[in-house]
Amino acid sequence: MSSVQRVHRLRLGSLSARLDTLSPLRTLSRGYAIVFKEKTGLVVRSAGQLQSGDRLRIRLGEGEAVAVTEDLKP
C-alpha cells in the first residue's frame, strides 16, 4: 500500500468516525427520542405545538411508540 493510499485510508476513517458521531441514529441510541405529530408527521419541538388528545409517534433508538397527550404544560 502506498503512502498516499495510507493517508487517504486514515482520512476516510477519521471522516467516518465524525459522521457516526453526528448521526441522528447514534443520538437516539444514547436515550434521546424524536417526537412527531401522528396526523401531520411534523417534529414536535415544543409543548405549545400540542393539544390534549393529540396522537404522537415517538422514534426511539430501537423502535417506535405511539402516545396520546393528556396533560400539557407549555
pLDDT in tens, 41-56: 999 999 999 999 999 9
What is the band of 60 on the pLDDT scale with cuts at 50, 70, 90?
A: very high
Q: Is the pLDDT confidence value at 58 over 90?
A: yes
Could you tell me which of 69, 55, 59, 66 has the C-alpha nearest to residue 35? 59
Q: Is the pLDDT confidence value at 22 over 90?
A: no
Q: Is the pLDDT confidence value at 40 over 90?
A: yes
What is the reported pLDDT for 20?
A: 85
Could you tell me which of 14, 36, 32, 13 has the C-alpha nearest to residue 24? 32
What is the reported pLDDT for 74?
A: 77
What is the reported pLDDT for 21?
A: 85
Distances (CA, A) of 47 to 22, 44, 54, 66: 26, 8, 11, 16
Type of residue found at 41: G
Domain boundary assignment for the chain: 1-31, 33-74
d(CA 2, CA 45): 50
